[in-house]
Structure 1
Amino acid sequence: IPVCCIGKTRRNWKCWNFLCKFVLHVTFSKCNRLLTSQIISYYDSINQCKKELPEYFNFASDVLDEWLRLEKDGRRPANPAFWWVNDEGEEVKWSFEELGFLSRKAANILSEACGLQRGDRIIAVLPRIPEWWLLNVACMRTGIVFIPGTSQLTAKDLLYRLQASKAKCIITNDTLAPAVESVMPDCQFLKSKLIVAKGRRDGWLNLKELLLVTSADHKCVKTRSEDPMLIYFTSGSTGSPKMVVQSHSSYGIGFATSGRYWMNLTPSDIMWNTSDTGWVKAAWSSVFAPWICGSCVFVHNMPQFKPAVIAETLSRYPITAFCTAPTAYRMLVQHDLSSYKFMSLKHCLSGGEPLNPEVMAKWKVQTGLNIWEGYGQTETVTICANMKGMEIKPGSLGKAVPPYDVQIIDDHGAILPAGVEGNIAVRVQPKRPFCLFSEYVDNPEKTAASVCGNFYVTGDRGIMDEEGYVWFVGRADDIINSSGYRIGPFEVESALIQHPAVSESAVVSSPDPVRGEVVKAFVVLAPAFVSHDPEKLTHELQQHVKKVTAPYKYPRKVEYVQDLPKTATGKIQRKVLRNKEWGRV
């Protein structure tokens, strides 16, 4: 400490006080890094293949309860484990101790009030409300298999999921309760119904009421690493949605590496991921990755995506890490962000679909921050990512994330050289990565078809460069084959969005008597261009694409639309447009 600080004047006292705080901050930060390494380094080392997968693992007891213990000992920052807000100004904050207390109550409700046993399946169709997180953890504690679903499911969707999964319990709110009741006669496996609502409903158990009277005395079951923990319904290129099962270790341990190196999380961070609870990205970035790193999970209960609400939230709350879909980033950069100050934000992430380099550049100009893109599927944890310390190549998915060996292969399973387009694949022989999904439930044919030679095939097309960066081309069934040229829609969409007239676009194949298929673009115009002459504007867009990318990729057909069909999570549904174009509707 400098001699000048050892005085009694007000100025010297301020200097002394500042230096003491600085030393404490540095010391605490160092301890914080050590604590982080104590917990996630063990699981990270499993991903790095330095340690064997444990025989038994449960995320609730082995991760969440460990952070609870460190929190009680004062060895974790004074940071909530969970922080929920809504537009009405309501807030819910839980420490890891409170999360543990409430989730044990919820676990007893599932076992006692609902009569569920280890291995049973429940479907949870809830918006972004705190109870969704409690039930997620409660299922881990009881060994019950958790099946999330988006709140936009219809009665037909619910019936299919209840019948296919043989779920014994469904959990929802007042909005979807009537739809569940309408299909009840055809759901012979369903034994109990749990509602999250303020008032009672005939035939339903009320979670809020039960939480008030149920004991928190619960002992977590001992689950094996390979025991099923989660099931997600995921759409394929053909047929009904498939059930993807993930084990306790696949997500619970598998996200240690990406949480630490892609999301760059520590116990001091507050992570906000905007995903709907029915989308697998909610499990990735709102449960497993942040909590394995001891971070705070931040949630804003937004019924609809509004750029102004996003910007205001990032300005108002001390959010340090932010993850949203490329569609959301596209909307945000079109919004005027100049009046907002994101004082705490330091790390931005994207996933779910490819991110246009143009959007990435605009975000950097407006916020000063990069967007670190990651890539994976419901069947996997993060496959590729732009991780800290790496050079970001705009438009690239980054490099393979351990323990995955990612390669580009042909249709026979042979590895292709750098720069050659093929199937993005993950090596599964001689040893299958522990964080790859277990199977498609009750669908051995689909499970077997996902493997080609020594590789699991993602169904996505891509290119790997000389440095190991992977570049997304498109879904295998989205590829446009025009006069022998294979054209990925994403590259054309990226070119289109660079034109000021284009707010959003979706590119699909369209039948052509000469070329077999041609590129067609569905374009949502920016407000300033709505009244422009469509014929002249089409020609201008076509010329623009020819200049930005290879001329043969330009859209020979352009249709202007008010909006594009999207999933509940904001992904553009090219399949809907393609089916319409080919008369398959």
Structure 2
Amino acid sequence: MSEILKRFCPRTEFDSYEDFKQNYVCIAPERFNFAHDVVDEWARIEPDKKALVWTNDSGEMRTYTFADMKRLSDKAANLIASCGVGKGDVVMLILKQRPEVWVCMTALMKLGAVCVPASYQLTPKDIEYRCNIAGVKMLICVDEPAVVEHVTEALPACPTVETLMAVGESVPAGWIDFRAEMDKASGVFERREDIQNSDMMLVYFSSGTTGMPKMVWHDYEFPLGHIVTAKYWQRVQENKVHMTQSDSGWAKFAWGKIFGQWICGAAIGAYDTEKFVPHRLLDAVIRIRPATFCAPATVYRYLIKEDLSGYDFSFIEHATLAGEPLNPEVCRKLEEMTGLRLHEGFGQSESSVLLANYPWFEIRPGSMGKPSPLYDIDLVDADGNRCEDGEVGCIVVRNTDKRHPLGLFHGYWRDEAATNKAWKNGVYNTGDMAWRDADGYY
């Protein structure tokens, strides 16, 4: 068992789903900080342990250890602080899957600053809206022309933004060269003792279907909610590589590319691509050789259209799916072509995994699985009444007022109306519909 994991979970092995549901416990220590208590601790006890295995479209490969991550994040924290960013200040990251995204997220946790990951696909108007509503003080971006152009166009209408940093070889005039300046920064960073578990750590903009995106905010305990995501759904293994295909601007990154995986002692596999091309992704998977793999449904739909006869994926021991349902026929075809059986899960930017196919029961085609032990999950009708088995209803999380579940967000920042609409009397309504069969599958 992971040396770090057992500090939070007194028991990690279970005999059945019922045992898991009733007896899984995760304890959040006082002043828990993922950057120090996971990343820096791995660097202390196993400095050469792999943290990140990175590749790109050029076939370049780099491996970073936890000692590397501690050293680089300490330097990055000092650089960012030297620009006037401190506890509670908001920093937006548009870094795709550059190694610096892991460095910067870790550094911001050390500073107590609020991290706002963002997609490289944002328009100038998207950037302007996000910077203004969140009060962004600093942007750290890739040096790609489209990203730089969109940020530059948005900037005049973003009065809170004070500093721009670029990662790459083509740093625009007036921007700070992140890599060059980080190299010069001190590698000594003293832990701040004023960061509390309840402080805001991370904000994701929801991709809602109506209205402007809402700011989903998570505190410093959020990473611990993803132990269930990583260990029991994705089934990551210590000292092996887990690969989730996701841009760093999306919440799926938090699900599969940093928190639960590093707590469990797994390395992250990262493919930094300019755009999604199925055969390039396949080649990247072969180079990274992950033991566990996760991707959204769209990726799997594209992959089954490729000629997979020349690929050997026998190194992948477990594969998962989330984001949207996948037709059972596609799942069957993928299994025929690769031998991989997909284990579906469900959750939101607002949570860690809510429903998943865990190790103790058989997969049922079309099912998202059963509830996480972290959440009291149920289905309700339009009037808030509990649905019977077989009835379609809204997925809700009950009893959040008795004990706030690890991994669940704390509301929509600066939008009290949206928060109150989603949360009533200790019940969080996800807004997503499902039905439950007699055996408890959703």
Q: Per the shorter chain, which TM-score range?
A: over 0.9
SS in 1 for 2:3: helix
SS in 2 for 1:397: coil
User: Match of 2:88?
Assistant: 119
> CA separation of 1:426/1:129 partners in 2, compared to 1, >3 Å: closer, same or farther?
same
Contact 2:8 2:26 in 1 (8 A): no
SS in 1 for 2:164: strand
Q: Does 1:375 align with 2:375?
A: no
SS in 1 for 2:202: strand
1:547-580 deviation line (CA, Å, top 9, x unaligned): xxxxxxxxxxxxxxxxxxxxxxxxxxxxxxxxxx
User: In 1, Cα distance between the equivalents of 2:124 and 2:348?
Assistant: 26
User: Match of 1:332?
Assistant: 303
Contact 1:57 1:249 in 2 (8 A): yes
User: Match of 1:137?
Assistant: 106
Q: How far 1:366 moved relative to its partner?
A: 1.1
Matched residue count: 431
User: In 1, Cα distance between the equivalents of 2:158 and 2:407?
Assistant: 32
* TM-score, length basis structure 2: 0.93
User: Match of 1:67?
Assistant: 42
Q: How far 1:429 moved relative to its partner?
A: 4.3
Contact 1:424 1:460 in 2 (8 A): yes
SS in 2 for 1:253: helix
User: In 2, Cα distance between the equivalents of 1:469 and 1:55?
Assistant: 35
User: Match of 1:84?
Assistant: 54
User: Match of 2:120?
Assistant: 151
Q: How far 1:42 moved relative to its partner?
A: 4.5
User: Match of 2:271?
Assistant: 300
1:75-121 deviation line (CA, Å, top 9, x unaligned): xxx75211111122322211101111011111111101x21011100
User: In 1, Cα distance between the equivalents of 2:284 and 2:150?
Assistant: 33
Q: How far 1:453 moved relative to its partner?
A: 4.9
User: In 2, Cα distance between the equivalents of 1:438 and 1:133?
Assistant: 24
Of 358, 361, 364, the match for 1:390: 361
User: Match of 1:465?
Assistant: 437
1:41-89 deviation line (CA, Å, top 9, x unaligned): 24979996746543311001111122222314xxxxx752111111223
* TM-score, length basis structure 1: 0.71
Q: Which has the larger radius of gyration?
A: 1
User: In 1, Cα distance between the equivalents of 2:356 and 2:72?
Assistant: 34
User: In 2, Cα distance between the equivalents of 1:360 and 1:135?
Assistant: 36
SS in 2 for 1:350: strand
User: In 1, Cα distance between the equivalents of 2:70 and 2:2?
Assistant: 24
Moved over 3 A (4+): 34-37, 42-53, 429-432
User: In 1, Cα distance between the equivalents of 2:313 and 2:217?
Assistant: 38
User: In 1, Cα distance between the equivalents of 2:115 and 2:66?
Assistant: 21
SS in 2 for 1:458: strand
User: In 2, Cα distance between the equivalents of 1:219 and 1:371?
Assistant: 44
Aligned 1:397-476 pairs, distance under 5 A: 397-427=368-398, 428-470=400-442
Of 295, 318, 329, the match for 1:358: 329
SS in 2 for 1:439: coil
1:172-227 deviation line (CA, Å, top 9, x unaligned): 13322222222222211111111112144222111011122111100232321111
Unaligned runs of 5+ in 2: 14-19
User: In 2, Cα distance between the equivalents of 1:260 and 1:378?
Assistant: 19
> CA separation of 1:79/1:365 partners in 2, compared to 1, >3 Å: closer, same or farther?
farther
Q: How far 1:230 moved relative to its partner?
A: 0.4
Structure 2 counterpart of 1:139, one-letter code: L
Contact 2:9 2:25 in 1 (8 A): no
Of 111, 130, 144, the match for 1:161: 130
> CA separation of 1:217/1:34 partners in 2, compared to 1, >3 Å: closer, same or farther?
closer
User: In 1, Cα distance between the equivalents of 2:422 and 2:128?
Assistant: 27
Structure 1 counterpart of 2:412, one-letter code: Y
Structure 2 counterpart of 1:166, one-letter code: G
User: In 1, Cα distance between the equivalents of 2:204 and 2:210?
Assistant: 17
> CA separation of 1:69/1:200 partners in 2, compared to 1, >3 Å: closer, same or farther?
same
User: In 2, Cα distance between the equivalents of 1:60 and 1:44?
Assistant: 22
Contact 1:123 1:146 in 2 (8 A): yes
1:334-384 deviation line (CA, Å, top 9, x unaligned): 211111111311111111111221111111111112111111000111100
SS in 1 for 2:40: helix
Q: Between Structure 1 and Structure 2, which shows a larger proportion of helix residues? A: 1
1:483-534 deviation line (CA, Å, top 9, x unaligned): xxxxxxxxxxxxxxxxxxxxxxxxxxxxxxxxxxxxxxxxxxxxxxxxxxxx
SS in 1 for 2:151: helix
Contact 1:413 1:454 in 2 (8 A): no
Structure 2 counterpart of 1:152, one-letter code: Q
User: In 1, Cα distance between the equivalents of 2:59 and 2:274?
Assistant: 15
SS in 2 for 1:440: coil
User: Match of 1:178?
Assistant: 149
Q: Does 1:229 align with 2:201?
A: yes
User: Match of 2:245?
Assistant: 274
Of 9, 26, 29, the match for 1:41: 9
User: In 2, Cα distance between the equivalents of 1:124 and 1:42?
Assistant: 35
User: Match of 1:290?
Assistant: 261
Structure 2 counterpart of 1:225, one-letter code: N
Which is worse superposed, 101-110 or 182-191? 182-191
Structure 2 counterpart of 1:35, one-letter code: E
Structure 1 counterpart of 2:113, one-letter code: I
Structure 1 counterpart of 2:215, one-letter code: M
1:309-337 deviation line (CA, Å, top 9, x unaligned): 22223334321111111111011112111
Contact 1:195 1:207 in 2 (8 A): yes
SS in 1 for 2:360: coil
User: In 2, Cα distance between the equivalents of 1:317 and 1:91?
Assistant: 9
Of 187, 191, 216, the match for 1:220: 191
> CA separation of 1:341/1:433 partners in 2, compared to 1, >3 Å: closer, same or farther?
same
Contact 2:56 2:284 in 1 (8 A): no
Contact 1:315 1:343 in 2 (8 A): no
Structure 2 counterpart of 1:147, one-letter code: V
Q: How far 1:148 moved relative to its partner?
A: 0.6
Q: How many percent identity over aligned positions?
A: 34
User: Match of 1:192?
Assistant: 163
Contact 1:413 1:452 in 2 (8 A): no
Structure 1 counterpart of 2:218, one-letter code: Q
Contact 2:245 2:294 in 1 (8 A): yes
RMSD over aligned Cα atoms: 2.0
User: Match of 2:210?
Assistant: 238
Contact 2:224 2:406 in 1 (8 A): no
